[in-house]
Amino acid sequence: MTRTVRRGLAMAAIMALGLTAAGMVQAHPHGWIDLRMRLVFDGDGRLEALQQSWRLDPFYSLVVLEELEQEQGDGGLEAALDQLGSEMRDTLSPQGYFTELQLGEGRLGLGEVDDYTVLARDGRIEFVFLLPLTEPRAIEGETLSYRVFDPTYYIEVVHEAEDEAPLDDALVVGSELDCETRILAAEPDAERIMEAAMLDVDDTAAAGLGRHFAETGEVVCR
C-alpha cells in the first residue's frame, strides 16, 4: 500500500462516517517527517550507529520557525535552533528516539544521542542526529531491519521519496561491505486505518498504533 493510498483510505473512512471537513483536518496523523537513514560502521566493519535526518513537514516547520523568530533571544535564530535540538533530543530519549532496530530475530540495544543538530533549510526544520548502538555488531549474513515511528501515530514517519519511490539516499550503507537494501511499505489492516481515522486532536492513540503504519528498512550484507 502506498503512502498516498493509505492517507486516502483514512480520509475515505472519515467521509464514510459523515464527519466534517474540520474533522478531517484533525484526524491522525497531524504531520509527517521525511526520513533519511545512514548506517555507520567502525574500523572493524561492525555497525556502530544510525545517522538519521528528519525533515519536518513544511506546514509544521513554518509554524515552528515563526515561533522561534518571535521568541529568539540575543543569540538569534541559530541559538534558538540549538535549543530546539536539545528539547527534541530530551523528548525523544525516553521513547528510544522512535527507533526499533533488529538483527535477525533479536532486538539490538540503542544508546543515547549526544551528537545532533537542528537546521532550517529550504523552509523546513531538519533534525540530524547520530544514534549509537549500545555495542558495535557485525551484521554479515543476517537481515538488519529497522522501523522509525511515533508510537501514537500523531506524526507519520516516511522515507524521503519521489513519485512514491524512496530516494536512493533514503537508506545508505556507509561501508565497503557488499550489501543490498530495500524499504518496505507499511500494510496496516482496515481496522488500524479506521482506528487512526477516528482519532482527533484531543485523543490519545493506543500504545503502538504507529508501528502498524511504519515503513521497514532492511539491509543484508555478505
**What's the pLDDT at 206?**
64
pLDDT in tens, 117-148: 999 999 999 999 999 999 999 999 999 999 99
What is the three-class DSSP state of 192? helix
pLDDT in tens, 91-127: 999 999 999 999 999 999 999 999 999 999 999 999 9
**What's the pLDDT at 154?**
86
**What's the pLDDT at 132?**
98
The DSSP letter of residue 184 is E
**What's the pLDDT at 24?**
36
DSSP letters, 118-129, are: EEEETTEEEEEE
What is d(CA 193, CA 17) in angstroms, rounded to the nearest whole number? Answer: 13
**What's the pLDDT at 207?**
66
The rounded radius of gyration (Å) of the Cα atoms in the chain is 18
Residue ranges in the chain modelled with pLDDT below 50:
1, 4-26
Q: How many CB atoms lie within 10 A of CB 210?
A: 25
What is d(CA 123, CA 182) in angstroms, rounded to the nearest whole number? Answer: 29
**What's the pLDDT at 205?**
67
CA 202 to chain centre: 22
What is d(CA 213, CA 33) in angstroms, rounded to the nearest whole number? Answer: 13
Q: Nearest-CA neighbor of 34 among 212, 162, 134?
A: 162
Burial class (CB in 10 A: 0-12, 13-18, 19+), 29: buried
